[in-house]
């Protein structure tokens, strides 16, 4: 265990080892992994020197799984078992995925999230994403020569709670400790802003393979503050391909294609789209399964006309974001272009026209998100204090509760800074009512049926009272990953009713455990070994954190007895850390966490005080 270098009590802690952390851009079309090496953020290549991993997974009947280029080569040959653009299905049900009929998959309608039937069994989009993440994790561990402490995984800023939760579950399934879910445009802003020492208000226009985000950020003295975000989590390069595909069907008079032909023509459509970036026209030539020849010309003008309303949709979202930020076009200092789809000339042109300035294209639109995520991962892993910059992000969509008549009562409005919490009180409407059902939704519309259902649960055990006299306090907490947790309690009686949030989507811990077991040959051994390593890593980090804290503030904030108590908890943990039972280590970690709670509180108070030292109340009046 190379990472267990723990200073003896009383000795100064050795300069801590560089912790291996990466940023992962889990894209619709392509995925990348990056890390900070010698202070510079770099994308990690695979053994063939390739940085980009196509987000394509093929499941074979013999149980083998292929990810990336190998899978991509087989997408037309084996369309049912080769999953492309799985990100579009994350946290989505059958009814959310519009053009299901045009996609060459065998969908399985499952509660919450759809699934895909493959030669290797039914797969959830979470499992498919996990298979992509596993390859990136292995690449990183091979390249960096050690186990990862964790990763920052990027998500579209406009991803809702279900999509974020699904992404986090996928990482868990891939054995990755998620340091943070980071919004893609924000990641790009970090990479761009730090690189260019940018100051002022910037827009990040991020059009990827399957998602569109627009974020407005204020960059000032190392603070990246997201003012507003908007977008469409089902609008990207794939839709442009699809328009070409539909155009080809129409022109060639084709209908009801096989899965093979559909995938073949979609692939040709994508190539044609890319060709039109540099050429005025392109030829689409393909031989279908039945021997029919498709051979036709597509001009830029035709392509622009058939995709115009897609571009318009991005501009509408952009104007909404500006309005939410209460800013005019003239307030925007620069527009940073991110995502491979921003290479399309009509997109560049439209964005330039809206903002009345030439968009900034000086960063590689494919890599900038991963590079920014790596910078954030480096800070979160504790390799750098990060004192010199700070990220303040927002929640993209309003969170609310269902009230009488199927209407939504907004509890946390969109563009609220995270972490965020809000409590709302509700009351009973019948005498003696002892239970109340709570329905959590996300979205901007007034009707529950137009918003995304996140969770439904029942608060039971309300003492019988006259209608209207119970006070049920429902608390929403959104953490720094943008993920929501909900709790409820009845205030008048003081009854703390226990509630379990049953997600309408996503996976339970049991399901993840089952998938983990199924996914490995020697499931149990692997899992135990992994759990042990994770627990040891966590314990080592905790010991280091507490040791540093004691050295900094121990004497100032704690009496001798308390210090001794913490020291003895540390000793107890050190004794078991190299053992082979992760449960024992876990118990000691919990004990040390408990012993340091008060200390943590005091240290926090101290840093809050120091933050405002210098401007005292009296001076301000």
Partner 1 sequence: MQPLNFDLQQDFFSLLSLPARFQIDSTLLEQNYRSLQAQVHPDKFSHLSEAERRLSMQWATRVNEGYQTLRNPLNRARYLLTLHGVDTQEDSNTAMPIDFLMQQMEWREALDEGKQAKDIAVLEEMEQRMQKEAKHLQQQLAVDLDDTHDYAAASGIVRKLKFLEKLAEEIGSAFDELDT
The rounded distance, in Å, linking the Cα atoms of 620 and 600 is: 30
Q: How many residues bind partner 1 (CB under 8 A)?
A: 59
131 has catalytic annotation: no
Distance of closest approach, residue 312 Cβ to partner 1, in angstroms: 9
Distances (CA, A) of 253 to 328, 372, 575: 46, 46, 74
> What character string, x for contact with partner 1 (CB under 8 A) and - otherwise, covers 197-236?
--------------------------x-x-----------
The helix/strand count (H/E) of the chain reads as: 16, 27
Distance of closest approach, residue 611 Cβ to partner 1, in angstroms: 4
Distance of closest approach, residue 86 Cβ to partner 1, in angstroms: 28
Contacts (CB under 8 A) with partner 1, residues 421-460: 421-422
The rounded distance, in Å, linking the Cα atoms of 408 and 452 is: 11
Bridge partners, 365 (sequence order):
none
Region from 189-197, 488-496, 524-532, 596-604 binding partner 1, contact rule CB under 8 A: 596-604
Going 123 to 124 to 128 to 131, the CA torsion angle's sign is negative
Region from 108-116, 129-137, 318-326, 353-361 binding partner 1, contact rule CB under 8 A: 318-326
Does residue 593 bind partner 1 (CB under 8 A)? yes
Task: Tell me 51's DSSP state.
Answer: -
The rounded distance, in Å, linking the Cα atoms of 483 and 318 is: 24
The rounded distance, in Å, linking the Cα atoms of 61 and 59 is: 7
Does residue 62 bind partner 1 (CB under 8 A)? no
Which tokens in the block code for residue 521?
Answer: 């040959």
Contacts (CB under 8 A) with partner 1, residues 528-567: 541-542, 545-546, 549, 557, 559
Distance of closest approach, residue 434 Cβ to partner 1, in angstroms: 26
Does residue 597 bind partner 1 (CB under 8 A)? yes
Which tokens in the block code for residue 13?
Answer: 């802690």
Region from 4-12, 36-44, 251-259, 419-427 binding partner 1, contact rule CB under 8 A: 419-427
| Closer residue to partner 1 (CB): 275 or 563 | 563
Owner of token pair 């993840």:
512
Which tokens in the block code for residue 24?
Answer: 């992962």
184 has catalytic annotation: yes
**Which residue, 192, 610, 547, is CA-closest to 389?**
192
Q: Which of 112, 146, 352, 419 binds partner 1 (CB under 8 A)?
A: 419
| Closer residue to partner 1 (CB): 466 or 608 | 608
Q: Is 326 helix (H, G, I), strand (E, B) or coil?
A: coil
Distance of closest approach, residue 612 Cβ to partner 1, in angstroms: 5
Contact (Cβ atoms closer than 8 angstroms) between residue 213 and residue 156: yes
87 has catalytic annotation: yes
| Closer residue to partner 1 (CB): 166 or 395 | 395
Length of the chain equals: 621
| Closer residue to partner 1 (CB): 323 or 460 | 323
The rounded distance, in Å, linking the Cα atoms of 40 and 461 is: 56
227: Cβ contacts below 8 Å, ≥ 6 apart: 201, 216, 217, 218, 324, 325, 327, 394, 415
Distance of closest approach, residue 79 Cβ to partner 1, in angstroms: 34
CA–centroid distance for 397 within its chain? 15
Region from 300-308, 317-325, 334-342, 459-467 binding partner 1, contact rule CB under 8 A: 317-325
Which tokens in the block code for residue 613?
Answer: 């030292």
Q: Is 260 helix (H, G, I), strand (E, B) or coil?
A: helix
Owner of token pair 């369309």:
79
Task: Tell me 551's DSSP state.
Answer: I
| Closer residue to partner 1 (CB): 255 or 618 | 618
Distance of closest approach, residue 537 Cβ to partner 1, in angstroms: 11
**Which residue, 162, 166, 159, 170, is CA-closest to 212?**
159
Among 184, 213, 239, 544, the active-site one is 184
Contacts (CB under 8 A) with partner 1, residues 356-395: 376, 379-382, 386-387, 390-392
531: Cβ contacts below 8 Å, ≥ 6 apart: 582
Does residue 260 bind partner 1 (CB under 8 A)? no
Does residue 616 bind partner 1 (CB under 8 A)? yes
| Closer residue to partner 1 (CB): 91 or 382 | 382
Distance of closest approach, residue 602 Cβ to partner 1, in angstroms: 7
Region from 66-74, 251-259, 314-322, 357-365 binding partner 1, contact rule CB under 8 A: 314-322
Contact (Cβ atoms closer than 8 angstroms) between residue 35 and residue 144: yes
> What character string, x for contact with partner 1 (CB under 8 A) and - otherwise, covers 474-493?
---x-xx-------------
Distance of closest approach, residue 621 Cβ to partner 1, in angstroms: 5
Element (H, E) at 192: helix 184-196
The rounded distance, in Å, linking the Cα atoms of 120 and 60 is: 6
Does residue 524 bind partner 1 (CB under 8 A)? no
C-beta atoms surrounding 142 within 10 Å: 12
**Which residue, 312, 487, 468, 467, is CA-closest to 401?**
487
Does residue 319 bind partner 1 (CB under 8 A)? yes
Distance of closest approach, residue 70 Cβ to partner 1, in angstroms: 35
Does residue 300 bind partner 1 (CB under 8 A)? no
Does residue 408 bind partner 1 (CB under 8 A)? no
- Residues at the contact surface with partner 1, assessed by CB under 8 A: 19, 179-180, 223, 225, 316, 319-320, 323, 376, 379-382, 386-387, 390-392, 416-422, 477, 479-480, 541-542, 545-546, 549, 557, 559, 592-594, 596-597, 599-605, 607-612, 615-617, 620-621
Query: Among all residues, which ones are annotated catalytic?
Result: 25, 87, 184, 206
């Amino acid at each position: 265990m190379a990472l267990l270098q723990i200073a003896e009590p009383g000795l100064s802690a050795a300069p801590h080892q560089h912790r291996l952390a990466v940023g992962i851009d889990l894209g619709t079309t392509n995925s990348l992994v990056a890390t900070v090496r010698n202070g510079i953020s770099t994308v990690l290549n695979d053994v063939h020197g390739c940085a980009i991993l196509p987000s394509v997974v093929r499941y074979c009947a013999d149980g083998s799984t292929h990810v990336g280029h190998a899978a991509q080569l087989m997408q037309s040959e084996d369309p049912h078992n080769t999953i492309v653009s799985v990100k579009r299905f994350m946290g989505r049900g059958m009814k959310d995925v519009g053009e299901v009929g045009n996609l060459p998959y065998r969908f399985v309608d499952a509660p919450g999230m759809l699934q895909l039937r493959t030669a290797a069994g039914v797969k959830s989009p979470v499992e498919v994403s996990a298979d992509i993440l596993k390859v990136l994790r292995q690449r990183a561990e091979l390249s960096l020569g050690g186990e990862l402490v964790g990763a920052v995984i990027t998500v579209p800023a406009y991803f809702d709670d279900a999509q974020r939760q699904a992404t986090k579950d996928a990482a868990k399934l891939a054995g990755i400790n998620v340091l943070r879910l980071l919004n893609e445009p924000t990641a790009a802003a970090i990479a761009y802003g730090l690189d260019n020492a940018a100051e002022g208000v910037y827009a990040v226009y991020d059009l990827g393979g399957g998602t569109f985000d627009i974020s407005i950020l204020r960059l000032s003295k190392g603070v990246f503050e997201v003012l507003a975000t908007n977008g469409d989590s089902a609008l990207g390069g794939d839709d442009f391909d699809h328009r070409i595909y539909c155009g080809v069907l129409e022109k060639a008079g084709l209908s009801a294609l096989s899965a093979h032909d559909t995938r073949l023509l979609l692939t040709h459509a994508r190539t044609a789209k890319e060709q039109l970036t540099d050429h005025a026209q392109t030829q689409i030539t393909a031989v279908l399964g039945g021997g029919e020849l498709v051979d036709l010309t597509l001009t830029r003008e035709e392509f622009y006309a058939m995709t115009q309303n897609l571009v318009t949709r991005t501009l509408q979202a952009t104007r909404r974001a500006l309005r939410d930020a209460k800013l005019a076009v003239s307030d925007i200092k620069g527009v940073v272009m991110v995502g491979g789809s921003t290479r399309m000339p009509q997109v560049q042109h439209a964005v330039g026209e809206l903002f009345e300035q030439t968009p900034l294209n000086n960063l590689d639109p494919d890599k900038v998100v991963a590079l920014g995520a790596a910078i954030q991962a480096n800070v979160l892993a504790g390799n750098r204090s990060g004192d010199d910059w700070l990220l303040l992000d927002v929640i993209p969509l309003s969170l609310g509760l269902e009230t009488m008549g199927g209407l939504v009562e907004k509890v946390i409005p969109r563009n609220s800074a995270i972490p965020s919490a809000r409590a709302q009180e509700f009351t009973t409407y019948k005498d003696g009512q002892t239970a109340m059902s709570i329905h959590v939704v996300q979205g901007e519309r007034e009707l529950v049926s137009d918003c995304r259902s996140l969770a439904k649960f029942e608060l039971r055990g309300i003492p019988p009272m006259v209608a209207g006299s119970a006070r049920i306090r429902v608390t929403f907490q959104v953490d720094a990953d943008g993920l929501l947790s909900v709790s409820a309690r009845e205030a008048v009686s003081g009854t703390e009713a226990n509630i379990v949030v049953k997600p309408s989507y996503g996976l339970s811990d049991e399901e993840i455990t089952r998938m983990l077991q199924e996914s490995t040959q020697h499931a149990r051994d692997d899992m135990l070994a992994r759990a042990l390593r994770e627990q040891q890593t966590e314990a080592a980090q905790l010991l280091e954190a507490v040791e540093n804290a004691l050295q900094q503030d121990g004497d100032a904030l704690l009496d001798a007895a308390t210090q001794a108590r913490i020291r003895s908890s540390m000793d107890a943990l050190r004794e078991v850390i190299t053992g082979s039972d992760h449960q024992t280590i876990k118990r000691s970690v919990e004990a040390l966490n408990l012993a340091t709670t008060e200390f943590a509180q005091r240290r926090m108070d101290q840093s809050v005080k120091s933050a405002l030292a210098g401007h005292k109340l009296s001076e301000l009046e």
